[in-house]
Amino acid sequence: MRVTFTANGRRVEADDVWEGESLLFVLRERLGLPGSKNACEQGECGSCTVYLDGEPVCSCLVAAGQVQGREVRTVEGLADPETGLDVVQQAFVDAGAVQCGFCTPGLVVQSHDLLRRNPRPSDNDIREALSGNLCRCTGYEMIMDAVRLAAARAGASGEVSR
């Protein structure tokens, strides 16, 4: 089948898609957007998190056909190419929240969503919001630091991430 949708603001089209393919597979293998990760493909790790019509979802659990005509935003589309990095991305680098980085794209998207909804999250809010995103390297402490830092910076600049 053919699937057409918007990815990071661009109209994209994938041909010869097998009905069993996930959105994650189509992004990674057919559209050259491998930023969303494939740590489990079972909906357990959050590494594949993308925005679908503005809602964060596990793209490994979304059948490709379901996104026909819809809007997808991945980690690659988070930052304005002009400005470089989104405040969340920059905070992850600065706080030491990235080791192997395989969890990072999913965590960045999920944290981005958290700060959109809740610009001043408590530690428990952060933990709750990120509880579906596994990280095996960091022990999460520096991920907490990164989200706190992103919230503080976004608050200070009056620029809540979109």
- Which residues in this chain contact other proteins in the complex, by CB under 8 A? 18, 20, 28-29, 32-42, 44-45, 47, 74-76, 78-79, 85, 89-90, 92-94, 96, 98-105, 108, 124, 126-128, 130-144
Single residue of 8, 38, 74, 161 touching ligand FES by CB under 6 A:
38
Taking the complex as a whole, how short is the minimal distance between the CB of residue 57 and other proteins, in angstroms? 16
Question: For residues 100 and 152, which CB has a smaller minimum distance to ligand FES in the complex?
Answer: 100
- Structure tokens that stand for 60 in this block: 């490994």
How far, in Å, CA of 61 to CA of 139, rounded? Answer: 26
Number of residues that bind ligand FES (CB under 6 A): 22
- The distance of closest approach from Cβ of residue 47 to other proteins in the complex, given in angstroms and rounded to an integer, is 6
